[in-house]
Amino acid sequence: MELDKFPSHHTAARTKLRRYYAQLGFKLVTKTQFMVRREDQVPPAFRSP
């Protein structure tokens, strides 16, 4: 597959997801694509857009 031919909107989508997960208390793990959240941390109340 020619991955460089895929549209760049995937990058924008990942950025948007990272921002959303950060609002829920997730932190990006350095030098990875993974985000984690402490198990004992209570997530904020869910708000529908």
What pTM did the predictor assign? 0.60
Does 35 score more than 70 pLDDT?
A: yes
Domain ranges of the chain: 17-41
The three state secondary structure string of 1-48 is CCHHHCCCHHHHHHHHHHHHHHHCCCEECCCCCCEECCCCCCCCCCCC
Question: Model confidence at 11, in pLDDT bands (50, 70, 90)?
Answer: confident
pLDDT at 32 over 70: yes
Mean pLDDT of 4-32: 81
DSSP annotation of 49 reads -
Contact 36, 27 (CB under 8 A): yes
